[in-house]
Amino acid sequence: MEKQKKSVLIVEDAPYMSEMIKEMLDTEEYEIAGVAVNGTEAVRRYKELEPKPDIVTMDLVMEEMDGIQATKEIKTYDPNAFIVIVSALGTAEHKKAARESGADEYLWKPFTVKNLSEILGKLLAKKEQK
């Protein structure tokens, strides 16, 4: 039986960064459910997608709506959503704000394929336990 790929919604305003994440996740394990360039679009896309993405990678600093607000809105809509903040802002305050918004993990830029895989693997293991 073929293993079901896990779907990922990428939320990132920098095209090179979303391309990099796409390339990193172009594996047997993952498929890209969609890409959003700001928080407003992220919330809309998340609500539209069926089935819901297994994981959302969320940038913090974006136009229109930032990653913290988008995370809160997605978590309000779907408390079971799994969201990984992916940001160059690595301060304790940013990490705390991300956690308080409902983010499940925090990944600092720049990161490696190994970093990303480990975090997603950890989250998916949590999801399987629910």
Long-range CB pairs of 2-6, under 8 A, 24+ apart, other chains included:
3/28, 3/29, 5/29, 5/30, 5/31, 6/30, 6/31, 6/54, 6/55, 6/120, 6/124
- What are the sequence ranges of the domains in the chain? 6-125
Q: pLDDT tens, 58-100?
A: 999 999 999 999 999 999 999 999 999 999 987 899 999 999 9
Is CATH 3.20.20.140 the right assignment for the domain spanning 6-125? no
CB-CB contact of 119 with 104 (8 Å): no
pTM given for the model: 0.93
